[in-house]
Amino acid sequence: MIKEFLKKHWYKYVLGITCLVVVDLLQLYVPRYVSKVVDHLRYEKPDLNYVSIIIWSVIGIAFGMAIVRFFWRYFIIGASRKFEYLARNILFDKLLSLSMSYFDVNRSGDLMAKFTNDLQAVRMALAQGVVLSVDATFMAIMTVIFMGSFVNWRLTWIAIAPMPGVALVALLFGRLIHKKFMKAQQEYSALSEITEETVSGVRIIKSFAANDLMHRLFNERSMRNYKTNMSLAKVSSLFFPLMTFFASLSYVLALRFGGAMVIREQVSLGEFVAFNSYLGMLTWPMMAFGFVLNVIQRGRASYKRIMEIMKEKPHVVEPDNPIKIESIEKVEFRNLTYRYPGSTRDVLKNVSFSFTKGNMVGIVGTVGSGKSTIVKLLAKLYPVERGKIFINDVDINDISSQNIRNLIAFVPSEAFLFSDEIQKNIAFAQDTIDFEKVVNYAKLAAVHEDIEKFPQGYKTIVGERGVTLSGGQKQRVTIARALYREKDVLIFDDCLSAVDPETEERIISTLREKYRDKTMIIITHRLKVLKDADLIIVLDDGKIVEMGNHEKLMQQEGLYYKMFKKQLIEGELRK
């Protein structure tokens, strides 16, 4: 990623570094001019014109430095920001291209950290890292040259003797501070995590009367956060005094030996003043050496973490020469035994069934029996071996996932809505909103009346920035969203569990009435909804135990019959 970036944007670094070197050189000339003024003022009749020319020159240099400084920042910081922008976009696209299994095993907090902290660390390495290393090296060498050639080489070697101490302290403490800082960051993340979970889980916490427990947990983490920050503060407090100690040693040596040279008139007073300014200038590059190593080290570690995402291969491999299908006429599962990537347990065992366009297919069964897995595989959300799933008699592996997903409208069991207007949620992923269509599908999903009751109707914002919808309302909005796509295959994965049984039945039968020609795959725990289904697949522990329509399954008096009877009695009892 960085290589490609530098290939395109290298000239910004060349321009930026040139400006940086110019600023450093200009800066080095200031003490020389000051020394001239000091020496001149010692004359009995100083030429004030000469002094004012020099003063104006110094002002000119300062002005020039300000301008050139703007440009080096513009080029180098600008380039690093550009990298951050491009890398973030590449990462985002990569993330969207990864299979579901990637998200099953990677925590969202960690992914967020890669998008924020890690990218920032790489950017810092490309900005501060570059600036500090060039600045520190160039300034250190040039300052020593200026000190030696314009003042005195012997005095220079004596005075800079303690400077490696400054670099060493910066390096060692820099590392320690970095380690402590990372620890403090971790503790802070843990603290934020518990705060966020407490806020989102406040209802559960209160209903379980778990306030004391949460308080204890929070206090523990808060204390750890406090302690790591205190430890960081202690190290930082030692850092600067130690640095200034070594730096002042240089001044002491300069004063002792330089002072003697001034008295012996080996060095002029002006030169001695300039020498002290140069010493001050040398402290910064020494400190920078320590910092730069840390910035680059951190950047490298973060870059490695970012590249982990970039190297990730999607589990669902897209075909090289995909076969394009225009509609889903037939679906067939042939002896499918399936286990999720990285898992050792078969969640579907020898599953075979087929259905054709226009069928209403119900998938029912015990909890965790593999119902959702079937539809997720059909939508190509997870990889499946060849020869197991066919659409229009074409192996699913020969059809691109985009092609399949463009032909189906999938409503997953978790009703996820974006924090945006309801109408935008319904017309999701469309460039324009056809309001009439939005209302039409909201009516079909039996949520129109609920939406109308909100003061801002379809413009109501959902979620944190707006109103909180009930579980049932959310589910029905997600159905309207799927209907809005106007696809020939509708998949409802237990997506009406939070509405009452009567409403679920009403929604499904209205949809069936209206869309006789559409294929509907419905996963549900309420069997009554499937009375008109053409095919009902009954699963238990990954195996199809029964299959057929409602009448046939009732006659068999197996698992379906038992579940149906039980639900009938429960329904009666509710009345």
| Distance of alpha carbon 142 from alpha carbon 148, whole angstroms | 10
HSE-up (13 A, CA, CB side) for residue 526: 19
Sign of the CA dihedral with 500 first, then 502, 507, and 511 last: positive
Least gap, CB of 492 to ligand ATP (angstroms)? 12
Nearer to ligand ATP, 306 or 364 (CB): 364
Least gap, CB of 343 to ligand ATP (angstroms)? 5
Sign of the CA dihedral with 103 first, then 109, 110, and 111 last: positive
> What's the one-letter identity of residue 389?
I
| Distance of alpha carbon 496 from alpha carbon 475, whole angstroms | 6
Q: Identify the residue among 195, 343, 419, 470 touching ligand ATP (CB under 6 A).
A: 343
| Distance of alpha carbon 97 from alpha carbon 90, whole angstroms | 11
Give the x/- contact pattern for ligand ATP in 544-573, rule: CB under 6 A: ------------------------------
51-83 b/e (C-beta count within 10 Å ≥ 16 → b): eeebeeebeebeeebeebbebbbebbbbbbebb
Pairing of strands 360-365, 535-540: parallel
Nearer to ligand ATP, 427 or 553 (CB): 553
Task: Name which of residues 361 to 400 contact ligand ATP (CB under 6 A).
Answer: 365, 367-373
Q: Identify the residue among 118, 271, 494, 546 touching ligand ATP (CB under 6 A).
A: 494
Task: Name which of residues 401 to 430 contact ligand ATP (CB under 6 A).
Answer: none
To which H or E segment does residue 379 belong?
none
Nearer to ligand ATP, 19 or 496 (CB): 496
Structure tokens at 135: 């600045």
Please tell me whether residue 268 binds ligand ATP under the rule CB under 6 A.
no
Nearer to ligand ATP, 248 or 350 (CB): 350
Least gap, CB of 545 to ligand ATP (angstroms)? 13
- How many CB atoms lie under 10 A from the CB of residue 346? 15
Give the x/- contact pattern for ligand ATP in 90-119, rule: CB under 6 A: --------------x---------------
Least gap, CB of 224 to ligand ATP (angstroms)? 33
Of 82-90, 339-347, 481-489, 543-551, the window that binds ligand ATP (rule: CB under 6 A) is 339-347
Q: Identify the residue among 340, 390, 441, 564 touching ligand ATP (CB under 6 A).
A: 340
Nearer to ligand ATP, 291 or 340 (CB): 340
| Distance of alpha carbon 158 from alpha carbon 259, whole angstroms | 13
Least gap, CB of 380 to ligand ATP (angstroms)? 14
Least gap, CB of 373 to ligand ATP (angstroms)? 3
Least gap, CB of 331 to ligand ATP (angstroms)? 17
Give the residue among 134, 225, 146 at the shortest CA–CA distance from 186.
Answer: 225
Least gap, CB of 304 to ligand ATP (angstroms)? 27
Least gap, CB of 204 to ligand ATP (angstroms)? 20
| Distance of alpha carbon 367 from alpha carbon 540, whole angstroms | 8
Nearer to ligand ATP, 285 or 365 (CB): 365
Nearer to ligand ATP, 352 or 430 (CB): 352
Structure tokens at 308: 């982990």
Nearer to ligand ATP, 349 or 531 (CB): 349
Nearer to ligand ATP, 97 or 244 (CB): 97
Please tell me whether residue 347 binds ligand ATP under the rule CB under 6 A.
yes
Rounded alpha-carbon distances, angstroms, from residue 173 to 133, 177, 231, 243, 536: 18, 6, 13, 10, 69
Nearer to ligand ATP, 146 or 340 (CB): 340
Least gap, CB of 396 to ligand ATP (angstroms)? 17
Structure tokens at 142: 């040039």
Give the residue among 58, 66, 74, 57 at the shortest CA–CA distance from 13.
Answer: 74
| Distance of alpha carbon 250 from alpha carbon 144, whole angstroms | 13
Least gap, CB of 495 to ligand ATP (angstroms)? 11
Rounded alpha-carbon distances, angstroms, from residue 169 to 32, 172, 254, 363: 30, 5, 21, 68
Please tell me whether residue 526 binds ligand ATP under the rule CB under 6 A.
no
Least gap, CB of 371 to ligand ATP (angstroms)? 4
473-491 b/e (C-beta count within 10 Å ≥ 16 → b): bbbbbbbbbbbbbebbbbb
Nearer to ligand ATP, 371 or 550 (CB): 371
Nearer to ligand ATP, 171 or 415 (CB): 415
Q: How many residues bind ligand ATP (CB under 6 A)?
A: 13
Q: Where along the sequence are the contacts to ligand ATP (CB under 6 A)? A: 104, 340, 343, 347, 365, 367-373, 494
